Each structure stands twice: as C-alpha cells, then as structure tokens.
Homo-oligomer: A and B are copies of this chain.
Amino acid sequence: MCEFDLITRYFQRPTPQTLLGPGDDCALMRVAPGMELAASSDLLVSGIHFLPDTNPRDLGWKTLAVNLSDLAAMGARARWVLLALSLPTADEIWLTAFSAGFFACAQPFQVELVGGDVTKMAAGGALTLCVTALGEVPAGEALRRDAARAGDDLWLSGYPGLAALGLKHLQGEVVLPEPLRRLCVQRLQAPTPRLALGAMLRPLAHAAIDISDGLVADVGHIARGSGLMAEILLHQLPRLPEGVERAPALEALLAGGDDYELAFTAAPEQRPALARVAAELDLPLWRIGRMAATSSEPRVQILDPEGKIVPWTIEGYDHFREAST
C-alpha cells in the first residue's frame, strides 16, 4: 500500500467544519471573526514519550489528547489537527487500531483531521508522531502563563499523579493494587484533555498551564512567567491514593508528568464560581496554594502547615536531563 492510499484509508474522515480537508498541498480553514488562532505542535517518539509496546489504540488517543490539552490550557476551543507519522512498517492492524483511537479522541471534541503526512522509517527507527492542534479563542481572552496576579489562589484539576504512578507500575518500580492499578494505567494511556474546563475558566482564571512535565515544573512556568512566587501548601494537596507508599505517590503528584490536568490561578473572589464549575463538570478542583509577590527569584515553594519551606529538588521531566522511559 502506498503513502496516499494509507492516508486515504486510515486518516481521511469527513471534515464539515473545514473548507478543504486532506489531499491538497494545504488544508484551508476559516477562523471565525473575533477569534484568535491558537496553535501547538508536539513530537512524540517511541521509547521517549511512550513505551514501545503501548497499545496502538491508546497511543492514537493519547497522541491527540496531549495536544488538545495545550489548547485547553489556553482556554481555546479545539477545531483542527494535522498529523504526521513515521512508521517502521505499514502494518494494517496497527494503523486500524491507531486511527480508531485517534478519531475516538477527536470525535467528542469535534476536532477535524485536516492534514497528514506518512513516512516509512529507516530500518530500526523509532515510531514518531507529530501533531499540530489548531483552535480558536475569543480575542484577548486566552489564558496565558504570564498573567497570574499576586494574591491569586493556585488551583489544580482532576486526579494528578495517577499517570506517573501508572508508569512506575508498568516499569516495575511500584506495585499498585487493583483497582488503583487499572485507574492509573488508564490515566497514563488515555488522558482526558480538559477542554471543557479550559473554556469555563476563561472568564474566571488569570493564568493556566497543563501539567505535562510535572506539577512543580509547570507551576514554575506560571511563577517565572508572571514574576511571582508560587506557594504550594502541602496540606492542601489532593489526598494521596490508598494502597501505595507515600514517597512515590507524593513524587508522582509533585513531579510526575503525563497527567494533562490544568493548573491555574484565580482571584479568591472566584472560589464560589469555581465550585460551581467543578460541580457542573463533575471534576474536582483543588485549591492547592497561592501566588505571592516576591523580591527574590520567582519560583515554586512548597510549604508545610506551619509555613516552613519543604525541601524539594525534583523539578519534573526534562527530555534532555533524563529520558527515563
């Protein structure tokens, strides 16, 4: 099967919200009046970003989900996606499962695949996926990481840390009891992009980011971007899961990547409105700290109940420091 047949067969679906979908030199789209275009690209490499034996259906889902998460973190609506793959072989079973997972993630969020590129790898090459997600956000309303204000609460969505525990389990570093194992592995393999949350946060939050590299590392981007100290209060963090030791669970929560939850800041007056958002989405929102003015270098501090600084050194996942998987 040639490259063009592959694209037609596995990656061509109707694109009613697109002027011109896959098959030409470019896709053509109309950005609605009054909207800004939001764009993000991610490259996923087997052995670095996912385990080589990842189920292709899960991989298809996750490949799209992690990029939609970037749109969610800006408060954008997801609209279009371009997908480029390089494959070791044109394996039809793999392609069927991968594309099913990809479109399973695209469908509920009404995202249309508008462009693609498929390449055969050099022998022994690592499967590589590149996704570019495009979305729309009302002009001037995007949630940037440099817009936190002193006095803001610091919030965190969902179930952070579970994905990292799932990875530790798959790598044999911890042993998780059921049903925690299943939950953690599911969070790792099929994260939910928080698009609904991001959209509802636009009028309420000041700054937002998605937790892809780890809570402390990503909140650090908000702190440095906004010139503020981010204070995470240890006793306000979500309770650690039962059935696993405290040390790896806390490390997973503070430094584990791959959760794709949102961290955001909002003025304290928004607490009731955020409680309503949590109820409406049936998604926990944890108020884990605050943003404070600082005369020293902006960064993240973790404080114990007495306000003392808890030493914390693991700064999260960095591809050039540690390629752990």
B37–A29 touching, CB < 8 Å: yes
Q: Does A277 contact B (CB under 8 A)?
A: no
Select A39's contact among B3, B115, B121, beta carbons within 8 Å: B115
Q: Does A84 contact B (CB under 8 A)?
A: yes
B318–A3 touching, CB < 8 Å: yes
Binary contact readout A136-175 vs B (1 if CB under 8 angstroms, 0 otherwise): 0101001011100000000000000000000000000000
A37–B31 touching, CB < 8 Å: yes
Chain B residues with CB under 8 A of A114: 39
A321–B2 touching, CB < 8 Å: yes
Contact residues on A (Cβ < 8 Å of other chain), bracket: 35 or more
B43–A117 touching, CB < 8 Å: yes
Cα separation A209 to B23 with both chains bound (whole Å): 11
Select A128's contact among B80, B86, B146, beta carbons within 8 Å: B86
Q: Give the contact stretch, choosing among A45-53, A235-243, A286-294, A299-307.
A: A45-53
Binary contact readout A111-123 vs B (1 if CB under 8 angstroms, 0 otherwise): 0001111111110
Chain B residues with CB under 8 A of A225: 23-24
Cα separation A49 to B144 with both chains bound (whole Å): 37
B319–A118 touching, CB < 8 Å: yes
Residues 11 to 57 of chain A near chain B (Cβ within 8 Å): 19-20, 23-31, 33, 36-43, 45-49
Within the complex, the shortest CB–CB distance from A136 to chain B, in Å, comes to 10
If A2-B320, A318-B2 touch, whether A39 touches B80 (CB-CB below 8 Å) is yes
Cross-chain pairs A/B with CB under 8 angstroms, 17 sampled: A25-B40, A25-B69, A25-B145, A25-B209, A26-B142, A27-B38, A28-B137, A29-B36, A40-B82, A40-B115, A41-B84, A41-B117, A43-B117, A43-B130, A45-B119, A90-B320, A122-B323
